Amino acid sequence: MSLPYVPRVTATVDLSAIRHNLARVREIAPQSQVMAAIKADAYGHGAVPVARALAAAGVDALAVACLEEALVLRDAAIATPIALLEGVLSLAEARLAVSQDLQIVVHAPWQLQLLQQLPPQTPLQLWFKLDSGMHRLGFPVSAAAALFEMLKANPAWQFHGWITHLACADEADNPMTSVQISAFETALKNLAGPRSIANSAGLLAWPQARVDWVRPGLMLYGASPLPDKTGSDLGLRPAMRVESRLIAIQDLAAGESVGYGATFRATEPMRIGVVAVGYADGIHRMLPSGAPVLVDGVRVPVIGRVSMDMISIDLGALPQAQINDAVRLWGEGLPVEEVAKWAGTLAYELFCGLTNRVHLLHS
Ligand SMILES: Cc1ncc(COP(=O)(O)O)c(C=O)c1O
C-alpha cells in the first residue's frame, strides 16, 4: 500500500533473520522443543508477522505475557500453541483461555484457587511455575509434590510441564544459575512432566538448562543477551534496522552550541546534520554525545541532547551528506547491543521502547 507521506522513522524487520535465529536455537538445543517469547509485540518486532514466520518455520509454541496479547494472535488466525507466562487474572480470562486453546502458566496459589472454581471437567491446559530463586513468580519448589497430587486429582487438566526462570543466566561466573537449576531438578526428581528452564542467556551459556523446552526471546531477534558477545559472535542475524533521515544540515562556527541545554559546543567550524528521530520514537534520551549512528555505511557521532523529535550528528566525516540521506540508528553494521550500552540500557529496552510513531515494516 502506498502512503501519502514519507515514513519518517522506519523499523524494518527481516523475517528471514528471525527464521535463521530459530534455526540457530535448534542447533544449540537440538533435543529441546522451542517456545518462542513474542510478548510485548514480539519485543517491538510485530507479534503477528513474527508469529506467522515462526509458525511457518515449525516453532513448537509461542509465549506471551497475558491474555490480551494471545487474543491478538488468535484473532490473526495463528493456531500455534500459546502459553500465557503470567497466567490469568480472573475467571472470565480463564474461560477465554480455555475457549481460545491457550496454555496457562500458574504461578501462585491465588491463581490455582481461581481455576478450581471452574467445573472440574474444564480442559484447562496448565504449566506450573516454580520459584527456584528469582523470587518474582512461582510456587516454592517445596510445593512441587502437592501440585503434582493436584494434577492427579483433576484428570481433565492437561499438564504441559514445569517452568522456572533464571535470574542471572547472562553472567557466566555467577553460581546462582547452577543453584537454581539444581533446586528445580531436585524438587522434580520423582515427578513426571516436561521441564522448561532457559531463556536466551540460559540456553546459550548453560548447557544444563537445555531441557525439554527452551524459551528464547531476545536471541530470536538477533541480539545477544550475553554482555561480552555480540549477536554475530553467537551466529545470530539482527532482524531489525531502525532508520530515519537527515532533515537539516548546518554549518557551525567555533563556540556555537547544539540542542537543548547547549550541552555540545563546537570547538572549531563544523558541519552538523539534524535527523528526524527522537525520544518520542523510542530513541533513548540517555544516548550521549559520541554514540554512533550510521550514514552511508559510515559511523558518525551524535552530538548534544536527544530531543523529542530530533537528534543532531556530526557530519565531519561525511562531506557528501545531503538532506534526505538515510540514518541508521541500529541494525546491520550497528548492533543494537552497542547502542544500548551507549544509552546505559539493554537491547530489550530499545526494542520494546519503539513507539507507535515508528513505521514497522516487514521484509
Ligand atoms: C518466563 C520467561 N521466559 C522466557 C523469556 C525470554 O527471555 P529472553 O528474551 O531473555 O530470551 C522471558 C522474558 O523475559 C520470560 O519472562
User: Over 90: is that where the pLDDT of 87 sits?
Assistant: yes
Q: Is 85 in the pocket of ligand 1 (CB under 6 A)?
A: yes
Mean pLDDT of the chain: 97
Task: From residue 324, give the alpha-carbon distance in Å to each of 244, 248, 273, 274.
Answer: 9, 9, 10, 10
184 and 248 co-located in one domain: no
244 and 218 co-located in one domain: no
Please identify, by atom number, the ligand 1 atom nearest to the C-alpha of residue 105.
Answer: 1
Active site residue 189: no
Are 88 and 62 in contact by the 8 Å Cβ rule? The answer is no
Overall domain count for the chain: 2
Q: Whose CA is nearest to atom 5 of ligand 1?
A: 199
- The CATH number of whichever domain residue 342 belongs to comes to 2.40.37.10
Q: Is 87 in the pocket of ligand 1 (CB under 6 A)?
A: no
Active site residue 39: yes
The grid coordinates listed for 281 are 520514537
262 and 209 co-located in one domain: no
Task: From residue 194, give the alpha-carbon distance in Å to each of 36, 61, 126, 141, 283.
Answer: 16, 14, 12, 15, 41
Cα–Cα distance measured from residue 63 to residue 215, given in angstroms and rounded to the nearest whole number = 8
Are 54 and 38 in contact by the 8 Å Cβ rule? The answer is yes
73 and 198 co-located in one domain: yes
Mean pLDDT of 186-191: 97
Indicate the pLDDT class of residue 246, thresholds 50, 70 and 90. very high
User: Over 90: is that where the pLDDT of 3 sits?
Assistant: no
Last residue of a domain, which of 177, 194, 223? 223
192 and 49 co-located in one domain: yes
Q: What percent of the chain has pLDDT over 90?
A: 98
Closest CA to 293 of 309, 276, 268: 276
Q: Is 165 in the pocket of ligand 1 (CB under 6 A)?
A: yes
Are 239 and 14 in contact by the 8 Å Cβ rule? The answer is yes
Please tell me the pTM assigned to this model.
0.96
Q: Is 180 in the pocket of ligand 1 (CB under 6 A)?
A: no
pLDDT in the model for residue 353? 98
Please identify, by atom number, the ligand 1 atom nearest to the C-alpha of residue 65.
Answer: 16
pLDDT in the model for residue 2? 78
The tens digit of pLDDT for each residue in 263-305 reads 999 999 999 999 999 999 999 999 999 999 999 999 999 999 9
Catalytic residue (one of 5, 39, 152, 221): 39
Q: Is 37 in the pocket of ligand 1 (CB under 6 A)?
A: yes
- Could you tell me if residue 25 is inside a domain? no
Task: From residue 166, give the alpha-carbon distance in Å to each of 106, 137, 147, 209, 246.
Answer: 17, 11, 21, 9, 42
Indicate the pLDDT class of residue 6, thresholds 50, 70 and 90. confident
User: Over 80: is that where the pLDDT of 1 sits?
Assistant: no
78 and 208 co-located in one domain: yes
Range of 190's domain? 31-223
Cα–Cα distance measured from residue 299 to residue 149, given in angstroms and rounded to the nearest whole number = 60
The partner residues of 362 in beta bridges, in order of sequence, read: 13
Indicate the pLDDT class of residue 37, thresholds 50, 70 and 90. very high
The tens digit of pLDDT for each residue in 91-101 reads 999 999 999 99
